[in-house]
Structure 1
Amino acid sequence: MSTPRKRRREGDTETRDQLIAATADIMLEEGYAAATSRRVAAKAGVNPALVYYYFPTMDDLFLAVFRRGAEANLERQRKALASDNPMRALWEVATDPHGTAMLMEFMALSNHRKDIRAEFATYAQRYRESQIAALTVIMRGHGVDLDALPPTLLSVMISSLGATLVNEATLGIDLGHRDLVEFAEDFVRVFEGVPWSRTGGLPAGSRAIGAESEPAAG
């Protein structure tokens, strides 16, 4: 008797996962407004009634998609911060088109759904707090003046600039992107031991970064 129950539970999980994956795909391809129960069911290859069997409302389904993506993003950030080159890894996460596009969809959706807005805000705070804590350790280890260049500021800059690059590129806007990417690359390379090469010196508050990599006078 136990085997059939186990199979049903596994089948339930598989169908639920299919619905979540189908919703995420539709949101990325066509936007959240296109993710209706019928479209999701058709994409997942199931009966439309099953959508509401597993998720009483579409908001419940959207929240399931968001939570799965949020946990994946938090895990990606943890791996980035634990990597040999955490600053570069953080920048790569921030400029990932897939992750940024999905976050923008949920940001738009949260403007119309109170429960999703609350969930989004909680996740964003958790993500940023984790990033700031790690940046504080990384920057302090490189001799950065944390008063002149606060980790909170750098965290917002990484997220904002990465999202701007991805969103504008999607719209076909690229003016100034090359300069920003080159600047970010130079900044990241300093944390990898490469001296700052741009005229005018290092950015304010970061002049001690990479000082050990600069050739000694004489």
Structure 2
Amino acid sequence: MGRITALESPAKTAAAKSTRRIGAQNSAGRDAILKAAIGVLQEEGAAGLTASNVAKRADVKAHMVHYYFRSIEDLVLALIRQHGSLGLKNTARAIASDEPLRALWEVETSFKWMSVAMELSNIAIRREDMKAEMMRYIEDMRNLQAEGIQRHFQLRGIECAVPPMALTIMVAGIARQIVREKEFNVSLGHDEMAAVVETFLENLKPAPQ
């Protein structure tokens, strides 16, 4: 099958996965297809994620998509894992900075990263295997963010009435709403919200010694 909007049932998909040869996971061809699929999601959304569209963008024949991925479902799972790993790496870099919350805000408001995450979420919500992957990465990322923020507060002697775990949800939630509205060319209130976040972040800086 080649279209994500007509997902097969897990049982049917599993039955189709037999002894057919699959390309190596660390190959340049596979990476090119994943990169092309990300591009399709960014420009056309989930509805455009077909083997033919991905192949066209990767400049390969459509059958090469299925050489590396038995189905579009497998491609989506690979995208979720790749995007989740990227999110964890970005989070690790952010919380290692001198201003982890500001760095996290910049990561979360990255249109490219967040728009792909939202498209993958829309696809995953209807499949238990995909939901499980999304849940794992979301919780791992949230725990990593909260632990980093808590450690930063303790080291710098910063007091904040909002628990670190709640802060991670606030930052991600506001960023996600802004990114989603930008897709509709809506910017009303975005500057004001960004100013509120900026003031909040400034107030979290440690007092001069």
Cross-structure match for 2:203: 190
Q: Considering only aligned residues, what root-mean-square deviation do their CA atoms show, in Å?
A: 2.1
Q: Does 1:125 align with 2:134?
A: no
The answer to whether the aligner puts 1:61 opposite 2:82 as a matched pair is: no
Matched residues in 1 for 2:79 and 2:165: separation?
28
C-alpha deviation, 1:142, in angstroms:
4.2
Q: Which protein shows a greater Rg?
A: 1
The amino acid across from 1:180 in the alignment is: M
* Residue equivalent to 2:172: 159
Pick the aligned partner of 1:44 from 58, 77, 87: 58
Is 1:81 aligned with 2:95? Answer: yes
Structure 2: runs of 5 or more not aligned = 1-22
- Opposite residue 178 of structure 1, the aligned amino acid is D
Any unmatched runs of 5+ in structure 1? Answer: 1-8, 193-209
State the percentage of identical aligned residues: 30
Cα deviation for residue 144 of structure 1 reads 4.4
**Residue 127 (structure 2) aligned to one of 113, 117, 137:** 113
- For 2:78, give the aligned amino acid: A
Residue 61 of structure 1 aligns to a residue whose secondary structure is helix
Shift of 1:213: 3.7
CA distance in 1, matches of 2:95, 2:156: 15
> Does structure 2 conserve the Cα–Cα contact (< 8 Å) formed by 1:142 and 1:191?
no
Q: Which residue is 1:92 aligned to?
A: 106
The 1-side partners of 2:165 and 2:183 are apart by 27
Match of 1:6 in 2: none
Confirm or deny: 8 A CA contact 2:108 2:114 kept in the other structure.
Answer: yes
TM-score by length of 1: 0.79
Whether 1:101 and 2:115 are equivalent positions in the alignment is yes
Separation in structure 2 between the aligned mates of residue 172 and residue 49 of structure 1, nearest angstrom: 37
Equivalent residue letter for 1:172: N
